[in-house]
Structures are given as structure tokens and as C-alpha cells.
Structure 1
Amino acid sequence: MSTSSSPASPEILRRNRILSSKLYFDVPPSKVPLIYSSTYNISFLGMEKLHPFDSSKWGRICQFLASAGILEKSCIIEPEEASNEDLLVVVHPEEYLISLKSSLTVAKIVQVPPVAMLPNCIVQRKILDPFRKQVGGSILAAKLAKERGWAINVGGGFHHCSADKGGGFCVYADISLCIHFAFVQLNISRVMIIDLDAHQGNGHEIDFAEDRRVYILDMYNCEVYPLDFNARRYIDQKVEIASGTTTDVYLKKLDDALEVARQKFNPELVVYNAGTDILDEDPLGCVRISPDGIIKRDEKVFAFARDKGSPILMLTSGGYMKSSARVIADSIINLSKKQLIDMQGTQNMEKKV
């Protein structure tokens, strides 16, 4: 009879990876559950300007918040960078991570052809490392949301990436990863994804196609990228809008959608993908929502989570105009004014109790 032990099951390996990860760590109450690192920003010889995405958006959001006096930089939480072991958690197979050692593969995913000509060591350091840092931020955001009631990762929201396929400037499936971490670390079993980026979130839709623990509300322009009709079959609540949709029409559709979601699912965590590419004149979203419309949109989603008694984490996702950073900052300021978030940290919360 053999005395060798049998290999661990995939479920046990997954759980062990999550429990041994350094991405969840204790945060002092003096910190605000707003997550950001200067390494989020992508910059390399101006090559980042070949894609319409504003790759310095994340840093400018924090600058606007600091200038408005609503956020002290010392209160921002810096995440750890996701390691290969973290990325292998249920989501990305090793073959996919190996494929990213090809600069050509990365160039196709980020849609910047000249990246293919760069040595992969540079691609890893200048492009993939910032994305890995943002993944760490999204994963940590779930923990902080559960502890504080809310959290904002000033990055992330790479909703076009599924387990084994990147695309649309999305290299890693941070939404799927943060949810799988939450299942194990936070002992929850019901998550709602509210995806209000202008584009369909085909990545997380594929990843959770057969997982009834995850309810997906996706409101997107059905006439633009990615046109993933297969993934659309897995959306629990599909709200399709057309190019040119205006603010009033959009907000009415959102109100109706949130009311349906309220009746259908009781989440223990809400993951809010808050893309600003629905802004009027955004070159890729092709929707006509005003800055004030985005501020009202975010307020409605946070109010929905509060009314459901569900922790909420927000990811900033897409947005292809320089004005996006200002709008996101203004929206966070509004959430604070409406007392849907507390930018003073938990010390003030303790005084209120």
C-alpha cells in the first residue's frame, strides 16, 4: 500500500492560497478606506498616450480630493501588489500568466501596438506591475468595505478580463479575484456586482457564469465594445442602452433597475464598477451623461447599498477623458456630504455610536 499522500484538491489549494496571501492586512482606524498608490499610474516615454485611457487619472483624483480639503494624503491606504500566487487563486491559470511574458500578448490586451516591441522586463515593470498593484487594491477594498461599510479603490475595475483572456486595457480579473478572496476571508456567500461602466463587463460575466452566489446587474451601451453575446447570457439583470442616451433617461433606467435588484437579491457585499466613460463626449462610451448625472448615479448606488444594509466597494474602471478625474473626485465629495461615506475614518464613527 502506498504511503504517499494524495494531492490536495483544487478547492483546498485555492483556500490555502487565499489564507496565506499578504493582500489582506489590518488597517489602523486613522486611515480612510480609500485605496491608492502612486504606482497605479502608468507612464513610459509617452507611449501610454497612444491609448485614449487617461493613465494618470488615479493620481489626479487624489490630488483633487486633497486640494478640496476632504482627504489628507497620510490617511490614504496603500495596497500590496498581487503576486503570482494571488493571481492563481481560482481565477487565472498558470498558462495565462505565462502568456503575459510575451510583449505582443500584452500589446494586444492594452491595445497599444508599439508595446510589442519593448523588452518584456520593461513591460512587466512599467505596465503589468501597476495593474498588479491595482488588483491588490481591489482585493483589499472588500475587506475594508466589510469592516467600515464602504471602500473605494481609486483604480481597478478591469471588467473585460476573465480567467484566461484579457482585453480592452484589462490584464487581470480584479473583480473576480476580490470576490473569491471575500468568499473565503470574509465568509460571505452572496455578492452583487453593479457594473455601470459604459461597456459590458464580459470578463466577470464569464467567470461567474454558473455561480449563483454572484448576482450581476450590468447597464451598458449594447452598440459598442465588447459585443460579447455569449457573456450576455450570464447577466442576471441586463439593462441595455443605446449610443446617445441622455442623463434623464439613463437615471430613470437606473432607478428602475435598482428597484428590481432590491427585490431579487440580498447581497452581503456590493461590488460597484463605476466607470465614467458614460460621460458626454467620451470617445469610447458614446453615451451623453452629464458630470452631475454621474454624481447622482453614484449617490443612487451607495444609497441602494445603505438601504440594503450591504457593504459596498467602488472601483473607478473606464473613463477616457481628462475630465473624468475631476468628476470622480466631485462624486466622492458628494458622497461624503450626503453622509453615504465617512472620509474622517472610523474614529468619528465610534463617537457617533
Structure 2
Amino acid sequence: MPHETQLYEDIPTSRWPIVYSTDYNITFIGLEKLHPFDSGKWGKIINFLRDEKLITDDTIVTAKEATEDDLLVVHTRRYINKLKWSFVVATITEIPPLVLLPNFLVQRRVLKPLRTQTGGTIMAGKLAIERGWAINVGGGFHHCSSDKGGGFCAYADITLAIKFLFERVEGVSKATIIDLDAHQGNGHARDFMDDKRVYIMDMFNRHIYPGDTFAKRAIKRRIELDWGTEDKEYLEKVETHVKGALNEITPDVIIYNAGTDILDGDPLGGLSISPQVSSRQITMEA
């Protein structure tokens, strides 16, 4: 029997299936600024939507932190224990000064936000089945697998969301992951390497992190892009390959991992996609 979890509690229909918590945002005496990844972007998104009168606090779902028992649905005990070492977290987040800090501070100020975002992804999976769609404003930690983190990804939230659905929701037995982050999603690929229930489409810049050759074997539809790929080529490939992926298998749930790092000028992604095309891409996938 699956363990008890707060992440699958019933949500009132008065709340939209948009999941967020103020705990998502990482602020830690400025150390978060040592990495080009914007660790406060989730709050900026919510504030924009709130200012535009598109949402209120009463219409969205408050994410809950994934517990250790929740995480152990996918993660090994050995990996969870490794996160109790500040050196390991510093390596995963690529913020070297974290190695000098007591782990209880690292847990509270860095890992708790990531666990809360992970809980949000699991909650969004259940809501998507119930409502037909759902959005987690955070998450998408596609570089983390069951026993290894990296690239600012400490928990395998995509794998967890799918495993929770397979174990707890009757009728959900096939999933498609459409990963359009600029980086290769090697974490969930490694987790589902030999799982025929999960179809992975991944479009990414071939020249940047992580370059995981082994993980590529799990990607059923792999689209590798070059530096500076622009709007026309990018959108044509998205439309062609999303249609192709959905023609190859009829999934019970689709996990779409969106990445803002495809945008022109992003310090990590290396692509040249305009905000207009990025918005169209998100609309099409939703």
C-alpha cells in the first residue's frame, strides 16, 4: 500500500490548478546570486500575474513540502542521506560557499524550497488528472535522478510525479514527457531508461550541460539544437515533433517541462528564441 501523503489531499474546486508557495524562493544572504540561475523567479511570475489581476491568493493552490517518505518513492536512502552534507549540496547547486555552512541552514534555506517545489509538482500531477490541466510554477528539476543530483536540481520531481500517478491513480499507466528546457533532461531519462510506460521527447542545445550520452538512450524523440537557434527553425521543430510524439503513443498524462532558458540572452541556454515565440510555444503545449 502507498504511504500516507499530504500531497494528494483534495483541493477545493474554487481554486485553480496552479500550484505555488512563497517557500519556493531561495534567498540566503546573497549566496544565491553567485549562480546565474534566478532563484527568485517563481515569486516574480506570481507577482506579475497578481499585478495583472489574473490570479489572487484565493484562486491558486498552496504547495506543500515533500516529506522524506514522499521522496523515498523514487530516491534511494543513500542519496537522501548524502544531502545532509553541505559539500554535496554545494556541488549540486554549483554554489561553492555553501560548503562552509552548517547543514541545518542549507536544509532550511536551500533544500526546503526545492522540496516544496517538488511537492508542488506531485500535487500538480494529481490535479492535472482531476481537472484536465495543472501548472506548477516551480519544479522541473530534470537533471536529478533517483541517486544523483546536479545542475541546481536536488530532487527528481518529474520522476516522482509520474511514479505517484502510476501507483495511486487508477487508469494512469502511460506518460509522455515533453522537455523543452534548453538543457538535456538527463535525470528523468536515467530513471525511466527501461520503462516502456514512459515516452520522452527532449529538445535541447547539444553543446551545453550535461552532455549525458548514456541518458540519451532513453529519449525516444531527441532533437539536438545548435548554438543560436532562432524562432522559425525552433518553432517548426516543436510543432513537428510534438505532433509526432503524440502520434506514436497515446499517454494518460503529459508532463511538459518548460524552460525560460531558451530565450535570447539567457546566460546558460545558448539559444536565440524571442519572448513572442516562447509564449506561443507555452500556449500550444497547454
Does the TM-score normalized on the shorter chain lie above 0.5?
Answer: yes
Structure 1 position 169 matched with structure 2 position 155: no
Q: Name which structure has the greater RCO, CA cutoff 8 Å, separation 6+.
A: 1
Aligned counterpart for 2:92 among listed residues 109, 114, 137: 109
Aligned counterpart for 1:157 among listed residues 140, 150, 162: 140
Aligned counterpart for 2:2 among listed residues 8, 13, 16: 16
Per-residue CA deviations over 1:156-179 (Å, capped at 9, x if unaligned) read 000000010000000000000000
For 2:130, the equivalent position in structure 1 comes to 147
* Equivalent position amino acid for 1:119 in 2: P
Identical positions, percent: 51
Q: Distance in 1 between matches of 2:267 and 2:76?
A: 33
Instruction: Within 5 Å, give how 1:217-232 maps onto structure 2.
Output: 217-232=201-216
Q: What is the CA-CA distance between 1:201 and the residue it aligns to? A: 0.2
> SS of the counterpart of 2:112?
helix
Q: Is contact 2:2-2:167 (8 Å) kept?
A: no
Per-residue CA deviations over 1:174-225 (Å, capped at 9, x if unaligned) read 0000000001222210100000000000000000000010000000111100
For 1:79, the equivalent position in structure 2 comes to 63
- Which runs of structure 1 show a deviation greater than 6 angstroms over 4 or more consecutive aligned residues? none
For 1:32, the equivalent position in structure 2 comes to 16
What do you get for the CA RMSD once the two structures are aligned? 0.8
Structure 1 position 267 matched with structure 2 position 251: yes
Q: Distance in 2 between matches of 1:242 and 1:137?
A: 33
For 1:62, the equivalent position in structure 2 comes to 46
Q: Distance in 2 between matches of 1:219 and 1:265?
A: 18
> SS of the counterpart of 2:27?
coil
Per-residue CA deviations over 1:225-253 (Å, capped at 9, x if unaligned) read 00000100110110111110001110001
**TM-score (norm: length of structure 1):** 0.80
Per-residue CA deviations over 1:237-275 (Å, capped at 9, x if unaligned) read 101111100011100011110121122010110000001
For 2:176, the equivalent position in structure 1 comes to 192
Structure 1 runs not aligned, ≥5 long: 1-14, 303-353
Q: Is contact 2:20-2:61 (8 Å) kept?
A: yes
Instruction: Work out which of the two has the higher radius of gyration on C-alpha atoms and give 1 or 2.
Output: 1
For 2:190, the equivalent position in structure 1 comes to 206
Per-residue CA deviations over 1:94-151 (Å, capped at 9, x if unaligned) read 0001001100000000000000000000000000001010010000001111111111
Q: What is the CA-CA distance between 1:300 and the residue it aligns to? A: 1.8
Structure 1 position 297 matched with structure 2 position 267: no
Aligned counterpart for 2:241 among listed residues 252, 257, 263: 257
Q: Distance in 1 between matches of 2:156 and 2:60?
A: 24
